[in-house]
Amino acid sequence: MRMWGVNPKILCRKHLLGEHVEMHMFVGVINKGSSIKGYLGKGLVEPRKIKERHSKLRLEMVNRGYKHKSVLPRYNYIGAVGKVDIKRSLNELKKRCEECRAKIVEGSS
């Protein structure tokens, strides 16, 4: 699970929908009381920004004509603060995905 944190417009369909699902998964883990310490330590999530990130992903999904019907459950996170490294996310997306790479390069021109 991870929060890319990049502009959702540069995400391919797979990564956009995947990150959306993962925001729901993070909330589920938090609501169960399970630890997300490993994700925090690796810079993969900012718990206090999950709701905001979900909203941005949802908006991009709707803009692309995808249906969005999943309401993000309420959650309360009191714990360590995480920080997603956007540069690292961009580099990782460029390595993993040709479609995201093309959008990243296109956006930086």
Q: Report yes or no: 30 and 47 within 8 Å, Cβ to Cβ.
A: yes
Phi–psi pair at 62, nearest 5 degrees: -65, -40
For residue 33, is it within any domain? yes
Q: Where are the beta strands (DSSP E) in the chain?
A: none
For residue 2, is it within any domain? no
For residue 82, is it within any domain? yes
Torsion of CA 72, 76, 80, 81, to 10 degrees: 50
What is the per-residue pLDDT across 6-64, written as a single tens digit (0 to 9) for each?
999 999 999 999 999 999 999 999 999 999 999 999 999 999 999 999 999 999 999 99
For residue 100, is it within any domain? yes
Domain limits for position 56: 8-108
What pTM, to 2 d.p., does this model score? 0.93
For residue 18, is it within any domain? yes
Count of domains observed in the chain = 1
